[in-house]
Chain A
């Protein structure tokens, strides 16, 4: 599995990662090596094997739908990069 420059750029875009131009060849090489390594999985016949999503095969616990937490907006927003009037600020999305 040899990833091309365009593959790396596409994956980086999907992952919302800005990567430096000069790092692309190394990412292509490293990611290709990792994918070659995990390709060993293909050799195993898994017909009829159930996928395992949880070590104990447990399912999600349900709880009563009731208020359990207090409002900590101001506390949590104290560590935010930018806020105003209780809202998180980001660059303008809609012109």
Chain B
């Protein structure tokens, strides 16, 4: 059953080919047998999953099932889950049992989905390789020597190895799209405000956005429909209706105008990755799309701008972790300042501390204008690039990441080198537009992801455009050799 999509599993449950308890039991056994190789899960919630599966089976029997009722899914360990450890990949929250459910979790619960566990991630979602997790690195199912990408690396690896058919991710600078690309799966970062951030542990609040990760665009559509929507508890939640993403999945894309930003195909892009992307673009030409070259002239400013905005917001958000109300507290504090400093110094790992310090510096007296204000102005220029582009084209396409998955340990020595692996994804968060990654081929056995970028709240079109590609190709259906059985 592990190689079926969410849509196929939902059909199987509806036709009583198997029960949710049978399905959940099978996947829990698969996680138990295989996750030792990957380290994709921080917590497996076996008891809860089986109770939810039983309830789902009753709901299916009663004829009141929703599309995700009885489907086993995993939650990134950044989403608060009532009564279940929510670590955010950090020693700081290793003892944190969330006292409430994130809105996203509540919505999946209401839909009758089954939560099998919480997935590993870079500490506080700060990383592009899943190597900053307190719980150790996650391995890429396509090659255990390679990183799965990050920060939603556990979710990506779990889906790629078919330990679960779908999982949630969050994306502040590429943390859904880059691991989806590196693990050969499909993931979408919705428009800023589309999915509630309530109960999703904050990293950079003006950039953070949750979204689904699965094997197909169709499954992402099913999950996003359950996740998305207005939430009064998130002050930046968009008060707009959620369309039926499934209803438009199969729309014809003849005449679709695709823009290829010339800045996404220049220096720094691995030529072998470029070739795979060009072949995928050719597939779109065969499907009747028109392809034009466009320019996003401020692309080179995105990573530097991001590494001011994101650390500044992170330094503010993470000030709440002070050893007083929850989370890690140091042993025998001498005084209150010692309690703050040692709890934070011992509770946070090096990358989180670096970002807190960069943000603290950028926001400190005398530097605010030169860093944060300057970055916010550049953010406007970057955002205007997209607004201009979407007057000419319907979607933008290019590589998700400049290379395929790199090896564990390869980029840990220099933070800036690691930051550049998000060079094509970061501008999307700064602008707030939706972006997606879908698998389009391989370079030396490691998956290549293509990025689709859409206009504000145009998720339905991205999912449609990705689905049409997946109807014509089978890259999304490939499994890593070691995880076929």
Q: Which residues of A contact B (CB under 8 A)?
A: 8, 11-12, 14-20, 23, 27, 30-31, 33-35, 37-42, 44, 46, 49-56, 58, 60-61, 63, 72, 75-82, 88, 90-93
Q: Are the C-beta atoms of B345 and A19 separated by less than 8 Å?
A: yes
Known contacts A79-B99, A88-B324, A91-B339, A17 near B357 by CB under 8 Å: yes
Q: Is the CB of B381 within 8 A of A31?
A: no
Given known A-B contacts A16-B344, A18-B346, A37 and B304 have beta carbons under 8 A apart: yes
Would A41 and B304 be within 8 Å (CB), given that A52-B380, A55-B432, A60-B235 are in contact?
yes
B432 / chain A contacts, CB cutoff of 8 Å: 54-56
**Is there an interface contact between A15 and B360, defined as CB atoms closer than 8 Å?**
yes
CB-based contact A76/B380 at 8 Å: no
**11 A-B pairs whose Cβ atoms sit less than 8 Å apart in the complex:** A14-B360, A14-B364, A16-B341, A18-B346, A31-B357, A56-B193, A58-B193, A80-B324, A90-B324, A91-B338, A91-B339
B322 contacts the other chain (CB 8 A): yes
Chain B interface main SS type: helix
Contacts of A39 in B (CB 8 A): 304
B356 and A34 form a contact (CB under 8 A): no
A44 in contact with B381 (CB, 8 Å): yes
Asked if B271 is at the interface of the complex by the 8 Å CB criterion, the answer is no
Q: Are B340 and A16 in contact (CB under 8 A)?
A: yes
Footprint of A on B, CB under 8 Å?
95-97, 99, 191-193, 206, 232, 235-236, 238-239, 300-301, 303-305, 307-308, 315, 319, 322-327, 329, 333-342, 344-346, 348, 350, 353-354, 356-358, 360-361, 364, 370-371, 373-381, 383, 414-416, 419, 430-433, 456
Q: Are A81 and B192 in contact (CB under 8 A)?
A: no
Residues on A with beta carbons closer than 8 Å to the beta carbon of B324:
80-81, 88, 90
Shortest Cβ distance from B326 into A: residue: A79
- Which of B96, B97, B206, B341 counts the most chain A CB atoms within 10 A? B341
Bound: A83/B393 CA distance, A: 58
Q: Residue of B at shortest CB range from A76?
A: B99
Distance between Cα atoms of A35 and B360 in the complex (Å): 12
> 7 closest pairs, A vs B, by CB?
A55-B432, A18-B345, A51-B376, A81-B329, A18-B341, A46-B377, A52-B380
Select from chain B the residue with minimum beta-carbon distance to A89: B324
State whether B301 touches A44 (Cβ < 8 A): yes
CB of B11 to closest CB in A, whole Å = 37
Q: Are B307 and A37 in contact (CB under 8 A)?
A: yes
Whether A46 contacts B238 by the Cβ 8 Å rule is no
In the assembled complex, the Cα of A91 lies from the Cα of B337 at a distance in Å of 9
Chain B residues with CB under 8 Å of A35's CB are 358, 361
Complex Cα spacing A14 to B315, Å: 10
A34 contacts B416, C-beta separation under 8 Å = yes
Which residues of A are found within 8 Å of B356, using beta-carbon distances? Answer: 15, 17
- Inter-chain contact count A-B, CB under 8 Å? 166
Main secondary structure of the interface of A (DSSP, over half): loop
Contact indicator B416/A91 (Cβ below 8 Å): no
What is the minimal beta-carbon distance from B288 to any residue of chain A, in angstroms?
Answer: 32
Give the nearest-CB partner of B371 in chain A: A38
Given contacts A30-B415, A55-B383, A56-B456, contact A17 B307 (CB under 8 A): no
Q: Which of A37, A38, A75 touches B99 (beta carbons < 8 Å)?
A: A75
> How far is B328's CA from A82's CA once the two chains are assembled, in angstroms?
11
* A15 pairs with B357, CB closer than 8 A: yes
* Assembled-state Cα–Cα distance A79/B329 (Å): 12
- Give the residues in chain A near B239, CB-CB below 8 Å: 61
Instruction: List A contacts of B374 (CB < 8 A).
Output: 41-42, 46
Q: A27-B354, A37-B307, A40-B301 are in contact. Are A49 and B380 (CB under 8 A)?
A: yes
Q: A27-B353, A50-B377 are in contact. List 15 more A-B contacts (CB 8 A).
A: A11-B357, A11-B364, A16-B337, A19-B345, A34-B307, A37-B304, A38-B305, A41-B301, A46-B381, A52-B380, A53-B376, A55-B430, A56-B456, A61-B235, A79-B326
Pairwise interchain contact A17-B348, C-beta atoms closer than 8 A? yes
Select the residue from A15, A31, A34, A88 with max chain B CB neighbours within 10 A: A15
Q: In the complex, which residues of chain B have a beta carbon less than 8 angstroms from the beta carbon of A42?
A: 370, 374
Q: What A residues does B308 contact at CB under 8 A? A: 38, 41
Q: A12 contacts B97, CB within 8 Å?
A: no
Is the Cβ of B357 less than 8 Å from the Cβ of A27? yes
Given known A11-B360, A18-B345, contact A91–B192 (CB-CB < 8 A)? no
User: Smallest CB-CB separation from A46: which chain B residue?
Assistant: B377
- Provide the bound-state CA to CA distance between A60 and B232, in Å: 12
